[in-house]
């Protein structure tokens, strides 16, 4: 009797291989779904384990056209089936015993992996985080919950720090342009940024809007311009920019509100690009909403690769309970985050994209919880030292 084990993606694939190896008279003893590949229990794939055996000896399997055996053929078949049944039971027990246990990660990290998954952090990002933690810290099972929390939080903060620019916009930029799809809050965000420059930095600021598709957006920006007592120019096409910029030449910084369009369509990408290649120091911020799915957000960023993007602003932070997209962005793309918009208030509901704040939001750690967040730096320093 010949017995073989197969790891396949489907039962038809197993049957084909079994017939090639053991002949048409082979029987399947056992099938079981297993997980293969991966690291630390992550990124595994489901496959099928199939155990098969031939009902004849190897010589007859090699000679399928040999004449049937004379005499006690039925008795022999019955004996073979009995032996196969016993073999199936023994083999099943053996395989279950030998199947390697997949202890994914230290148990003290499991709840944090689950939290990251719930926050829609990419599997690749989670994998990267776990590798960093396990490479630096040993004997995690011996750590207290507070120590493990501090380690995970510190690792997440550093990931944000590696891909962030918390200083916000450059002070020497002559123009700050906001681009992005419809409905993400570009006009309100631009009013917040301009208000801060006027009220807190005492700069001469000007508005320029190319969003002529929405009358409400122009009127909204004009209202803010009147409140702040700053000039505003409206352009309908790129060839009108030189005249408008000349009218705003006395401004130290100009904020341009671009048209909100469907940037999944190529024609709009080319259109917006014509507004982003001016002969002055220009800083372009892509504005994305945290209420968008990561899959949609990623598709927009991919589409915008052909244009000059310097940083990313995330709006509607206060309207979301899922913050993993922020981490996915800085991990997968070379665009630092600049600001987070947290409401409709002008100018107060905006802040710098601070790594610690975002990390705590993802992990669900209360910023005011002195038992965790406030002690993070001290705890991590002690552990690493």
Residues 182 and 294 placed together within one structural domain of the fold: yes
Q: Is residue 367 part of a domain?
A: no
Rounded to an integer, what distance in angstroms lies between the CA atom of residue 94 and that of residue 92? Answer: 5
What's the gap between Cα 22 and its chain centre?
46
Band of residue 385 on the pLDDT scale cut at 50, 70, 90: very low
Domain boundary among 66, 98, 130: 98
Q: Is residue 50 part of a domain?
A: yes
What's phi and psi for 59, nearest 5 deg?
A: -65, -45
In the predicted structure, residue 153 carries a pLDDT above the cut 60: yes
Average pLDDT, rounded, for the chain = 80
pLDDT reported for residue 376: 42
Domain boundary among 69, 98, 127: 98
Rounded to an integer, what distance in angstroms lies between the CA atom of residue 275 and that of residue 239? Answer: 9
In the predicted structure, residue 291 carries a pLDDT above the cut 90: yes
Q: Is residue 118 part of a domain?
A: no
| Model pLDDT for residues 7-52, shown as the tens digit of each residue | 988 887 888 888 888 887 788 878 888 877 665 556 567 788 888 8
pLDDT reported for residue 375: 40
Q: Is residue 12 part of a domain?
A: yes
Q: Is residue 374 part of a domain?
A: no
Q: In the block, which residue shows the tokens 């504005």?
A: 287
Residues 89 and 188 placed together within one structural domain of the fold: no
Region of poorest pLDDT, from 36-50, 74-88, 153-167: 74-88
pLDDT reported for residue 48: 84
Band of residue 77 on the pLDDT scale cut at 50, 70, 90: low
Q: Residue 103 in contact with residue 141, Cβ under 8 Å?
A: no
Residues 196 and 337 placed together within one structural domain of the fold: yes
Cα-only R_g, the chain: 32
Tokens describing residue 158 = 């550093």
Residues 210 and 324 placed together within one structural domain of the fold: yes
CA distances from 269 to 24, 56, 68, 305, 335 (A): 59, 68, 74, 9, 18
Residues 218 and 331 placed together within one structural domain of the fold: yes
Domain boundary among 98, 123, 146: 98
pLDDT reported for residue 76: 58
Q: What's the total number of domains in the chain?
A: 2
Q: Is residue 261 part of a domain?
A: yes
Residues 71 and 211 placed together within one structural domain of the fold: no
Q: Is residue 9 part of a domain?
A: yes
Q: Is residue 140 part of a domain?
A: no
Residues 200 and 302 placed together within one structural domain of the fold: yes
Residues 231 and 341 placed together within one structural domain of the fold: yes
Which residue range forms the structural domain that includes residue 240?
175-353
Mean pLDDT of the 211-233 span: 84
């Amino acid at each position: 009797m010949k017995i073989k084990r197969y790891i396949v993606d489907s039962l038809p694939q197993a049957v084909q291989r079994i017939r090639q190896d053991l002949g048409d008279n082979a029987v399947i003893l056992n099938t079981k779904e297993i997980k293969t590949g991966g690291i630390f229990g992550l990124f595994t794939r489901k496959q099928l384990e199939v155990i098969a055996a031939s009902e004849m000896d190897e010589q007859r399997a090699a000679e399928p056209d040999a004449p049937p055996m004379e005499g006690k053929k039925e008795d022999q078949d019955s004996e073979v089936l009995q032996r196969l049944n016993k073999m199936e039971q023994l083999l099943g027990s053996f395989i279950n015993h030998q199947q390697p246990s997949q202890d994914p990660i230290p148990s003290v990290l499991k709840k944090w992996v689950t939290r990251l998954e719930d926050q829609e952090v990419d599997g690749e990002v989670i994998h990267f985080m776990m590798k960093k933690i396990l490479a630096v810290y040993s004997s995690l099972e011996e750590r207290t919950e507070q120590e493990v929390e501090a380690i995970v939080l510190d690792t997440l903060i550093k990931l944000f720090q590696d891909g962030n620019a918390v200083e916000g916009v450059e002070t020497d930029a002559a123009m700050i342009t906001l681009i992005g799809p419809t409905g993400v809050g570009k006009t309100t965000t631009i009013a917040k940024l301009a208000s801060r420059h006027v009220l807190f930095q005492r700069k001469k600021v000007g508005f320029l809007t190319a969003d002529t598709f929405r009358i409400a957006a122009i009127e909204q920006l004009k209202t803010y311009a009147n409140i702040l007592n700053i000039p505003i120019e409206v352009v309908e096409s790129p060839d009108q920019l030189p005249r408008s910029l000349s009218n705003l030449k006395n401004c130290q910084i100009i904020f341009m509100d671009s048209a909100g369009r469907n940037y999944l369509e190529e024609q709009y990408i080319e259109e917006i690009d014509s507004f982003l290649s001016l002969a002055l120091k220009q800083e372009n911020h892509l504005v994305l909403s945290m209420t968008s799915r990561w899959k949609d957000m990623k598709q927009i960023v991919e589409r915008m690769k052909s244009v000059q993007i310097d940083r990313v602003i995330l709006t509607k932070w206060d309207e979301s309970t899922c913050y993993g997209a922020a981490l996915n962005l800085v991990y997968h793309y070379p665009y630092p985050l600049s600001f987070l918009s947290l409401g409709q208030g002008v100018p107060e509901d905006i802040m710098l994209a601070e790594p610690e704040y975002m990390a705590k939001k993802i992990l669900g750690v209360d910023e005011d919880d002195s038992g965790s967040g406030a002690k993070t730096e001290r705890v991590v320093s002690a552990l690493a030292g």
